[in-house]
Amino acid sequence: MLSAVLGLFSQDLAVDLGTSNTRIYQRGVGVVCREPTLVAVHTDRRGRRKVLAVGEEARAMEGRTPRDIEAVRPVRDGQIHDYEVAEALLLHLVRRIHGRNAWVSPKMVIAIPHNATDMERRALRESCETAGARDVHLVPRPLAAALGADLPVERPSGHMVVDLGGGATEVSVLSMAGVVASRVVPGGSSGMDRSLIEFLRGERQLLVGTPTAESLKEAVATALPPKRPKVHRVSGRCLRRGVPRSAEVSGDEAYRAIRGHVEAVGNAIRSVLDQSPPELATDIVDHGVVLTGGGSQLVGLPAALREATGLAVVRSERPASAVVLGAGRILEEMDLLRAVAC
């Protein structure tokens, strides 16, 4: 009786712990959380760390903290590098979702990089358990992305998914619910932000932070030369005089600053296709490539990759949520879970 009642208000969660954002899907409900993967941590004189804020609240503090408080990003380049902080973030978000019912520990499906080591798997499993999960299932991130993009990955036919996240771009070929080939291009969409920061420093003698570069990218950057370039004004610190100053950046300049990243993704697609067994390569030529991840929202990206690879390239319907939606599907469908858990 008790378990039937609890089943009605399911505590089961699927998690995508990304470099930029953490998303959580609740069974029977949908995506219930999207927060920056960021934690404000206070370190006392004895080196003990205490969490002050997570997610959006921590973002408001980024770049504005005193010396003993640090805004920590526990995931870098798509890989967890600070498990203690990642665990604190998960614990906080899970408690927020479950509210007063926090005593009921959930089943948890969590997406992990395809190339995660045994040690990383163990550490992540432990972090989920500490966050309150009773039953932890690790699933390869490319598979979750493909399922979230509605690709029929269980079938014996090849599909290619390119997940362009904040920290890394993962190009993967999938068949029969498994990852057949995969290649990671480091940097992801935040690599474009860094190139825009470099451009402003070199060409405008202007120092700007990551949030400014990110808004510039989202406002005017394109993956192909823009036909009618937009202009965006950014503010920063003048490197010559040290005073606040603003400058205009055109879409054409932004395109030139980031185009190397787009080329790198095109090259990775070609090389993964080259390494794929011939039957699967033929399937991919037939089915095309699906883009997921927040970074795939860059204007003109499908067209640019089509031009670079000769393949049909489309963006999935909800690209930024594809991984968590796919992990959610795995949570909802036991058969899928049995097929893909690793």
Ligand X SMILES: Nc1ncnc2c1ncn2[C@@H]1O[C@H](COP(=O)(O)OP(=O)(O)OP(=O)(O)O)[C@@H](O)[C@H]1O
175 binds, among Mg ion, ligand X, none (CB under 5 to 8 A by kind): none
CB of 100 to ligand X, least distance (A): 29
Q: Which is nearer to ligand X, 182 or 189 (CB)?
A: 189
CB of 129 to ligand X, least distance (A): 22
C-alpha distance across the termini of the chain, in Å: 32
Give the strands of the sheet with 69-72, arranged side by side: 49-54, 39-43, 69-72
Please, which residues have CB within 8 angstroms of residue 18's CB and are 6 or more apart in sequence? 37, 75, 78, 165, 166, 167, 323
Give me the least distance between CB of 18 and Mg ion, in Å please.
Answer: 4
Selected range binding Mg ion among 26-34, 67-75, 158-166, 307-315, rule: CB under 5 A: 158-166
Shortest spacing between CB 253 and Mg ion, in angstroms = 28
Q: Select the binding partner of residue 20 from ligand X, Mg ion, none (C-beta < 5 to 8 A, by kind).
A: ligand X
Stretch in the footprint of Mg ion (CB under 5 A) among 125-133, 164-172, 258-266, 298-306? 164-172
Within the chain, what is the greatest distance between any pair of CA atoms? 71
- 69-105: b (≥16 Cβ within 10 Å) or e: bbbbbbbebbbbebebbbbbbbbbbbeebbeeeeeee
- CB closer to ligand X, 88 vs 322: 322
Complete edge-to-edge strand list for the sheet that includes strand 206-207: 206-207, 231-238, 244-250
CA 188 to chain centre: 9
Residue 294: which of Mg ion, ligand X, none does it interact with, CB under 5 to 8 A by kind? ligand X
188 counts as binding Mg ion under rule CB under 5 A: no
CA nearest to 33, candidates 105, 121, 96: 96
* CB 142 to Mg ion: min, Å: 10
Task: Determine the Cα–Cα distance for residues 82 and 77; give it in Å rounded to an integer.
Answer: 12
Q: Which residues bind ligand X (CB under 6 A)?
A: 18-21, 75, 78, 165-168, 188-190, 214, 217-218, 293-295, 297-298, 320
Q: Is 165 in the site for Mg ion (CB under 5 A)?
A: yes
Residues that bind Mg ion (CB under 5 A): 18, 165
